Amino acid sequence: MKNFTPISKVKNIATEGSVLLSERTIARAEDAKTFFTRAGNMTLFILQTLRQFFSFPFEFKEFLKQCYEIGNRSLPLVAITGAIMGLVLTIQSRPILNDFGAESMLPQMVAVSLIREIGPVITALICAGKIGSGIGAELGSMKVTEQIEAMEVSAVNPMKYLVVTRVLAATLMIPVLVLFADALGMVGSWIGVNIKTELNIALFFSRAFSSVDFIDFIPAFIKSFFFGLVIGLVGCYKGYNAGKGTESVGIAANSAVVLSSLLIIIVDLIVVQITDLMI
């Protein structure tokens, strides 16, 4: 005789399947709701920050302090990273160009690669790790210890004093750090060239910048401002909206690095597409 599944058992299986499907649908709906809620909150935070840009008085002393914290204290890390980028790029590219008999084009290749793409993106990612996490942790600790609420009680606008100054400082300092990284990357490339051959530094830079045009430098320099804006806004948003408890400080710092790094890649993709249409 053939074994038949009882009708009651089939109904139970169907019921369990429908319940499981409904639970998954509810979970996905909750995830979508959370995503759009966070996106809306961040949009409102950005709009509120941009509105504070044009209100007076401006906290100039705090702005200069943040420029020093973001720019000067990040310079050694960025300088070392830039020099290593140029050195490694030169050492790795030499054998490939040598196979095609184009080793003399090495300075031009490194210059275009550093200025157009590698320098701004790598520098922004390094700054996202250092500056973004620092801003997120600092504002997160102030949120946990209720210092932000104390500023509101004492008639001090925390958005203007804490957020606007840091966002503007990051927006202005990241391009400067990118220039330093590019310059030291070229110095590192010259050192890499002279490992196996001897090339005068004046001749090296003359060859390097012979292939760099206006369209190579300006888009890369402009997008570095957007990188700084992203780092400042994300770091301030994550720290300013940190939860209660000391562990929320670490969560704010970590999420600031992850989100700002992702947005840097997205912004770079958009700028590259726009630049490609302009050429």
**Total domain count, the chain:** 2
Residue 62 and residue 39 share a domain: no
Full 3-state SS string of 13-29: HHHHHHHHHHHHHHHHH
Q: Residue 183's pLDDT is what? A: 92
Distances (CA, A) of 278 to 123, 216, 272: 24, 11, 10
| Residues whose CB is less than 8 angstroms from the CB of residue 261 and which lie 6 or more positions away in sequence, other chains included | 125, 128, 129
Q: What is the domain extent for residue 28? A: 1-54
Residue 266 and residue 220 share a domain: yes
Residue 128 and residue 48 share a domain: no
Residue 37 and residue 63 share a domain: no
Distances (CA, A) of 241 to 25, 105, 154: 29, 50, 20
Residue 64 and residue 24 share a domain: no
Residue 143 and residue 30 share a domain: no
Q: Is 56 exposed, middle or buried (0-12, 13-18, 19+ CB in 10 A)?
A: exposed
pTM of the model: 0.84
Q: Residue 190's pLDDT is what? A: 92
Residue 48 and residue 87 share a domain: no
Pick the closest to residue 274 from 211, 234, 226 (CA basis).
Answer: 226
Helix axes 165-193, 214-240, angle to 10 degrees: 130
Residue 236 and residue 100 share a domain: yes
Residue 167 and residue 72 share a domain: yes
Distances (CA, A) of 93 to 51, 87, 110, 113, 140: 47, 10, 9, 11, 43
Q: Residue 73's pLDDT is what? A: 84
Distance of CA 263 to the CA centre of its chain: 6
Mean pLDDT by 10 residues, the chain (279 residues): 49 52 69 76 82 79 90 89 92 85 84 90 92 89 85 81 90 93 92 86 87 82 92 90 81 90 92 78
Residue 77 and residue 171 share a domain: yes
